[in-house]
Structure 1
Amino acid sequence: MKNNNIEVGRYLVSPMTKSQDDGSFSASVSIRSGRGMASVDRVMRFAPQFASRRAALRYATAEGLAWARAH
């Protein structure tokens, strides 16, 4: 499995995909900050379904990077 983690300032953005029963793909992203006991991990799951894993990953990456850059 390819590591898709991207560091943005104090955040670690980790886009993810999941295959669905109908053959489509869903997208989500984990945004982690802090270390050890002081770490916080936000997970966002997105409503759109995608025809390919690549499209879902691209969407999750874009959304995660936008969130990290805005905060």
Structure 2
Amino acid sequence: MAKRRRRFKQTQSLQERLAAEAERLRASAKTAPPGIRREELLRKARQFEEGLHMSEWLKAPGVELRR
């Protein structure tokens, strides 16, 4: 028997989820002591923000995706 995918409806848009996670990571970085962990949190926050910008860019009118 084939496995069935578990599907669920997202309650927030991708942009909202990316922005919220970036904000959460930045808040955690503010309370973290200086060091490697803090830098990791800031790096991950920047990655989420970059993903948000890419998502917005892809939704912009005139953007054509090629396969």
Could you say which TM-score interval applies, normalised by the shorter chain? 0.3 to 0.5
Taking structure 2 as the reference length, the TM-score comes to 0.34
- Structure holding more strand per residue: 1
**Structure with more helix by fraction:** 2
